[in-house]
Structure 1
Amino acid sequence: MVIQKRKSYTSLNNVYFLTATIHKWRPLLDENDNKGVIVDYLKKLSEEKLISVYGFVLMPNHFHLIWSQDKMNGKETPQGSLLKYTAHTFLKQLKLENRSFLYEVISGNKKHEIWQRDSLSIEIYSRKVAKQKLAYIHSNPVSGKWQLAKDYLDYHFSSARFYEYAQDDFGFLHNLFTVFDGE
């Protein structure tokens, strides 16, 4: 069986739906502190005007993000910076807890892998697709096996309340539909 890798290409200033998954689907993001690492770094990148975040949800072993990468972070893309920073932060904590062995890999250029290599980015090109992707990420915590909250609006690590109540609990959210004004 041949496993085909997803290939995602992004460009600056376009809006994308990103999915990033923890290596081997391990529940590293079960812990709110680890979710906080992601939220804090998204806020930092946003404050530095490197990204615009339109929607997100953080799940136990992956996250979905609707965003645009607005400027490079030095020589790195904001996505590269986000995944690298969070991986280093998580690995440091895992080493302190003697759990880093769970993320060991056999590779010539690294000893551990926190994020799977096949992060998927899909360009959002219309209001219709934007609505569909937002509905998907906001319902993720209460769908299927997850049941992380009784109601999707009760799940903290999501942009759902921003769209329902105009409540930005994170300080970095932008309304996705302003991107498609005039359509």
Structure 2
Amino acid sequence: MRPKIRVFKVERNSKMVLNKAYFWTSTIKDWIKLLQPESYKQLIIETLKDLVDRKLIKIYAFVIMPNHVHIVWKNIALNGKEMPAASFNKKIAHEILKDLKLNNQKMLQHFMVQEHSRSFRIWQRDALAILMDNRGKLEQKISYIHRNPLQEMWNLVAFSVDYKWSSAKFYHDGIDEFQILTHYMDLL
């Protein structure tokens, strides 16, 4: 007998608010697999760690995929005048653009845009933010995050706990290699 699968209505929120938990997805422009290098994944971890250490965010789950990032997190305080999620995207884009300009002009061309305020865009506009307003939805999204590297289109590892760039190992054996995570039960 198959286990019953619970499905939740997905409500998209265009604006995150402080002190609410969200399932958040930010995707590289045109789904280009820009985040494959270990150095870019490490940049993401370091940026998240800085925001955690400065008590601007709490992270409950994450995965860094080749062309997108999923995070269940709470933005706790503004970073200057902006939400930490915006600071995160800006910092990552700035550092990747700097690296591409120095080391990969060919790849850099994929991110050229003709917009009023910029010449390059790393992230697609409007990250997805879904409010985590109940335990079932929260657990469903964390499970989705941890299974993401196993999907047939990615096939990055055989077992979710073997994928270094996610919180799966933390929830499996309590090891937070990056020292950025808070258990989701602290939300409830």
TM-score range (shorter-chain normalised) is over 0.9
Q: TM-score, normalised by structure 2?
A: 0.91
Unaligned runs of 5+ in 2: 1-11
Work out whether residues 7 and 118 of structure 1, in 8 Å CA contact, stay in contact via their aligned partners in 2.
no
Q: TM-score, normalised by structure 1?
A: 0.93
Residue 96 (structure 2) aligned to one of 50, 72, 90: 90
After TM superposition, the structure 1 = structure 2 runs for residues 55-74 of structure 1, keeping only pairs within 5 Å, are 55-74=61-80
Q: Partner residue of 2:7?
A: none
Unaligned runs of 5+ in 1: 1-5
Work out whether residues 56 and 159 of structure 1, in 8 Å CA contact, stay in contact via their aligned partners in 2.
yes
Q: Partner residue of 1:51?
A: 57
Following superposition, the deviation at residue 7 of structure 1 comes to 5.7
Following superposition, the deviation at residue 102 of structure 1 comes to 1.4
What SS does the corresponding residue of 1:60 show, helix, strand or coil?
coil
Root-mean-square deviation (CA, aligned residues, Å) is 1.0
Question: Residues 53 and 72 (structure 1 numbering): CA distance in 2 closer, same or farther, change over 3 Å?
Answer: same
Work out whether residues 51 and 78 of structure 1, in 8 Å CA contact, stay in contact via their aligned partners in 2.
yes
Residue 131 (structure 1) aligned to one of 120, 123, 139: 139
Q: CA–CA distance in 1 between the matches of 2:187 and 2:158?
A: 31
Residue 149 (structure 1) aligned to one of 140, 146, 157: 157
- Structure 1 stretches of 4+ with a deviation exceeding 3 A read none
More strand by percentage: 2
Q: CA–CA distance in 1 between the matches of 2:98 and 2:29?
A: 16
Following superposition, the deviation at residue 33 of structure 1 comes to 0.5
Following superposition, the deviation at residue 118 of structure 1 comes to 2.2
Q: CA–CA distance in 2 between the matches of 1:110 and 1:7?
A: 25
Count of aligned positions:
175
